[in-house]
Amino acid sequence: MAAVDVLRQTFGYEAFRGPQEEIIDHLVGGGDALVLMPTGGGKSLCYQIPALVRPGTGVVISPLIALMQDQVDALTALGVRAGFLNSTQDSEQRRATERALLAGELDLLYLAPERLKTESAVRLLDRAEISLFAIDEAHCVAQWGHDFRPDYLELSMLHERWPDVPRIALTATATEATRAEIATRLNLGDARQFVASFDRPNISYRIVQKNEPRRQLLELLRTEMPGQAGIVYCLSRASVEKIAGFLTAQGIPALPYHAGLDASVRAANQARFLREDGLVMVATIAFGMGIDKPDVRFVAHLDMPRSVEGYYQETGRAGRDGLPSVAWLAYGLNDVVQQRRMIDTSPGDETHRRRLAVHLDAMLALCETATCRRKQMLAYFGQASDHESCGNCDTCLTPPQVWDGTIAAQKFLSAVYRLDHERGQKFGAGHVIDILTGKRTPKVAEYRHDELTVFGVGEDLRDTEWRGVARQLLAQGLLGVYGDYGVLTLTPDSAAVLRRQRDNIMFRREPERVRARRPKLVSVTEDLSPEDTKLFERLREWRAGQARDQGVPAYVIFQDKTLREIASQRPADVHALACVNGVGQAKLEKYGPEILAVLTE
């Protein structure tokens, strides 16, 4: 069967998107490929369709043991013969899957990378007919990336052991440095590289200054996301527990997820998030890679990510269905101090710390930019934007003011200099700001810092504005942080500012001075008529019943996007229903009569 026929009959889509068709044809022809495509861009089809077209079984290497069952369930619902081998199975289940593989009764087999390190797995694959190897989440092989996994380093053996089997490595995010490392470590130097657009136009990117972040998060969820599924990322396990408890106490159903929880609790919470509507998962970055839930309407960060790659990967878990979604980040001075300190105290050599610093500098630049965030993020991945403004990020919807902060920078750095060089003392940002604003606090009085020449020279700015100055000086590398307590220190670049050899230091205006436009409610039924909305909700009720009966996530039955199309088009018969995107032959036969019955009620 031709690839386009598989696309239509099995997956229910009329046409390929972006470079999908070119990638699939290349792989079907036996070529190797390295694919960079955003989350929700249709990466899975790039290996699933070739596995169905080529003779044999497609072997998918994935680090996501906890999600393999859901991935297999989704494929089985489409009529695809899929299975997995991992540590969650008992011996009889493993033997049944192995027999199906050797009998040629599987189209796709999912394996974790560590299983390929066992001789038994390698011998099993030697006895089977393999159509292709797909290495998902390929950035895990790159130490330049944001989610390095040592087990991925062993995957170069695929080319050595099975040189005639085509391979495809896929990732949702990679800079040129990461891409080069992936190609080297996986022996894909001769593979054809496909780079799709990194733009996710349905995601609205918003970065706000921290001001009681719990309250800010609660306001976001109540005013824009009532009843919506989403992910809240925190840096520490303790924060995860506290925020999950806080949201639950406020009447918002929330679950925690972090590596310190018992494995059974993590698995149960993940299963609930995938299967139930409207749940909020509060998690460390241990959660989320490979999450196929298409209706995640928001991803919120209460701590600044360590890199743009990590931020892009995590925010990409919102809106996989292409419907409007929000990526929201609360960011403040302590985030910068904490991240700088973590780099300085991180294990590893100087090269490793420099690498971390490069990642952090790019993330800080994204947070502090006064121009379009989407354009800056795309530029980080080497993609030029056709427009100055995307119209769907906070800096485009409410352009920030900028001001010349050269004098303010000189005042702040002078205070740090006098504390360090004149008194031999080091303090954090809060104490420096007290000195600049002329506050005779007990600490200022104890150290006689009201005698410094810089005492009170900054009364023209408020505390919040001075914190913005400190944050942006840190972001620009004009100020450093030292030790475990976040004390401030000068950097080699500070001298030019103090000697007035550098001017025109521009800062973003603090948000209190800017009246922001109130965001609108995010809704998947926004452009449906009242009658179509009622029908859409009735279809969701029907789908929820099917999902409960089968014990699978609702999106395995049909995605919201497909139900929206059914509600607006109201197909009158199975032929018209077959033309709806997402309705393949297997689902048409299984669910068609029931959907038509809902439509005629």
E-state strands within 451-558:
480-482, 487-489, 506-508
Q: What is the pLDDT of residue 481?
A: 84
- pLDDT over threshold 90, residue 425: no
12: left (phi over 0), alpha (psi -120 to 50) or beta: left
* Predicted confidence band of residue 515 (pLDDT cuts 50, 70, 90): very low
Phi, psi dihedrals of residue 95, rounded to the nearest 5°: -65, -40
403-513 — its CATH code? 1.10.10.10
Residue located via tokens 């401030």 = 488
Mean pLDDT of 477-496: 86
- pLDDT over threshold 60, residue 512: no
Residues 543-572 have pLDDT tens digits of 999 998 998 888 999 999 999 999 999 999
Closest C-alpha to 49, from 190, 199, 182, 168: 168
Q: DSSP states of 273-312 as a string? A: HHHSSS-EEEE-TTS-TT---TT--EEEESS--S-HHHHH
Single-letter residue type at 212: E
Number of Cβ atoms within 10 Å of the Cβ of 357 = 16
Single-letter residue type at 182: I
Give the Cα separation of 19 and 583 in Å (integer). 22
- pLDDT over threshold 50, residue 516: no
Q: What is the pLDDT of residue 503?
A: 84
- pLDDT over threshold 60, residue 506: yes
- pLDDT over threshold 70, residue 289: no
- Whether 403-513 and 3-195 are alike in CATH topology: the answer is no
Q: What is the pLDDT of residue 67?
A: 78
- What is the reported pTM? 0.84
**Would you call 242 helix, strand, or coil by DSSP?**
helix
Give the Cα separation of 208 and 367 in Å (integer). 9
Q: How far is CA 226 from CA 100, 222, 392, 521, in A?
A: 45, 5, 21, 9
- pLDDT over threshold 70, residue 281: yes
* Predicted confidence band of residue 523 (pLDDT cuts 50, 70, 90): low
Q: What is the mean pLDDT of the chain?
A: 90
530-600 — its CATH code? 1.10.150.80
The burial class, CB within 10 Å (0-12 / 13-18 / 19+), for 391 is exposed
E-state strands within 355-505:
402-404, 480-482, 487-489
Residues 380-419 have pLDDT tens digits of 888 888 778 999 999 999 998 899 999 999 999 999 999 9
CATH topology (fold) of 203-331+369-399: Rossmann fold (3.40.50)
The strands making up 108-111's β-sheet, listed across from edge to edge, are 82-85, 108-111, 57-61, 130-135, 167-171, 33-36, 192-195
Mean pLDDT of 269-296: 86
Single-letter residue type at 565: E
Mean pLDDT of 209-235: 94
Domain boundaries, the chain: 3-195, 203-331+369-399, 403-513, 530-600
Residues 297-312 have pLDDT tens digits of 999 999 999 999 889 9
- pLDDT over threshold 60, residue 502: yes
Mean pLDDT of 65-74: 84
Q: What is the pLDDT of residue 513?
A: 40
- Pure H helices in 331-388: 333-344, 350-368, 373-380
Give the Cα separation of 402 and 166 in Å (integer). 52
Q: What is the pLDDT of residue 100?
A: 97
Phi, psi dihedrals of residue 390, rounded to the nearest 5°: -85, -20
Residues 195-206 have pLDDT tens digits of 998 899 999 999
Higher model confidence: residue 175 or residue 258?
A: 258
Q: What is the pLDDT of residue 338?
A: 87
Give the Cα separation of 466 and 45 in Å (integer). 51
Q: What is the pLDDT of residue 520?
A: 55
Q: Are 336 and 315 in contact (CB under 8 A)?
A: no
Residues 12-35 have pLDDT tens digits of 998 999 899 999 999 999 999 999
Q: What is the pLDDT of residue 514?
A: 39
Q: What is the pLDDT of residue 290?
A: 62
Q: Beta strand 506-508 with 402-404: parallel, antiparallel or unpaired?
A: antiparallel
Architecture category of domain 3-195 in CATH? 3-Layer(aba) Sandwich (3.40)
Residues 429-457 have pLDDT tens digits of 999 999 999 999 999 999 999 999 999 99
| Stretch (H or E) spanning 218 | helix 213-223
Q: Which residues of 472-499 are buried (b: 16+ CB within 10 A; e: fewer)?
A: bbbbbebbbbeeeebbbebbeebeebbe
Q: Is the dihedral of CA 116, 121, 127, 133 positive or negative?
A: negative
Mean pLDDT of 140-144: 75
Mean pLDDT of 175-197: 90
DSSP label at residue 155: G
Single-letter residue type at 596: L
Mean pLDDT of 367-375: 92
Mean pLDDT of 481-497: 85
E-state strands within 221-290:
230-233, 254-257, 280-283
Q: What is the pLDDT of residue 240?
A: 96
Higher model confidence: residue 101 or residue 420?
A: 101
Phi, psi dihedrals of residue 133, rounded to the nearest 5°: -115, 130
